[in-house]
Amino acid sequence: MKIAAVQMVSGMSCKANLEVAKDLIHQAASHGAELVVLPEYFCILGANDTDKLAVKEDFGRGPIQEMLSKSASQHKIWIVGGTLPLRVQSEPNRAYNTCLVYDPLGKCVAQYNKIHLFKFKKGQEQYDESKTLVAGDSPVVFDVLSKDGNSWRIGLSICYDLRFPELYRALSDMGADLMLVPSAFTYTTGAAHWEVLLRARAIENQVWVLAAAQGGEHENLRRTWGQSMIINPWGDVVSKLPTGAGCVMQDINKNEMLSVRVDLPVLEHRTL
């Protein structure tokens, strides 16, 4: 199955970001991608954390979800919509940071609400997602039948989730063969930890990992790390885009994963 990670440098206009995302989805699909993954906050990186609340949508309607659904059906591909803010009826001043999955008919078939909310403070750089977001509470997988007839179980995660290996072990226990990590890692934390954490999640679970990132200097003066990449079940980075908008693509196969698990059967040796 050919998969694609879309990297973006999203700005403050949701409409403009959707056009960029649509073009990059088309680019990936035209090169044969069956599964295309957008980064976290592909639809907006505002001047303030609260700006995303102005574009939050009810599940099942809104321009962001409409673009994702139409792009999936137009290109007859699977699209994982990075993240978008979804309304929480009981919390008018916050939202879910949600990853939605669309099948080739344009139907939304999976929804994952980010479980772990980022908080970081170093000098003048500080973030606290709990001020604007409501945390999810459940791991999510979905199934894809690729054109070559293989069935793939795919696990969802988002950015800061990457620091919590227990989530990925739960996805592994649910049968995941491929784990997705749409992200907007800061330049500071990304430079220190991004690749090592991604490779660790692939190695310890013996799965493919795809990480679609924000990467560059943004209109709001924020700087994200980028380095969108695809990692094989042995932990090798097989495709990578350092910075800027574009696509990372790779043909993946289940035999490579199964071979790693036969040669080094760590999952069979678990005792806890």
* Residue 204 annotated as catalytic: no
Question: What does the block give as tokens for 205?
Answer: 């679970």
Catalytic member of 34, 40, 57, 129 = 40
76 is an active site residue = no
Among residues 14, 43, 99, 159, which one is catalytic?
A: 159
Give the tokens for residue 69.
């659904």
- DSSP structure string for 5-45: EEEB---S-HHHHHHHHHHHHHHHHHTT-SEEEPPTTTT--
Name the active-site residue from 2, 52, 56, 114: 114
Judge whether 144 and 154 are in contact, CB under 8 Å: yes
To the nearest 10 degrees (0 to 180), the angle between helices 165-173 and 187-205 is 30
Token pair of 77 as six digits: 């591909």
57 in active site: no
Identify which of 95, 82, 89 has the alpha carbon closest to the alpha carbon of residue 130: 95
Distance of CA 122 to the CA centre of its chain: 25
Q: State how far the Cα of 232 lies from the Cα of 249, in Å rounded to an integer.
A: 13
- State the DSSP code for 219: T
H-helix or E-strand spanning residue 233: none
Residues linked to residue 5 through DSSP beta bridges, in sequence order: 37, 248
Chain centroid to Cα 150, Å, comes to 22
Active site residues: 40, 114, 159
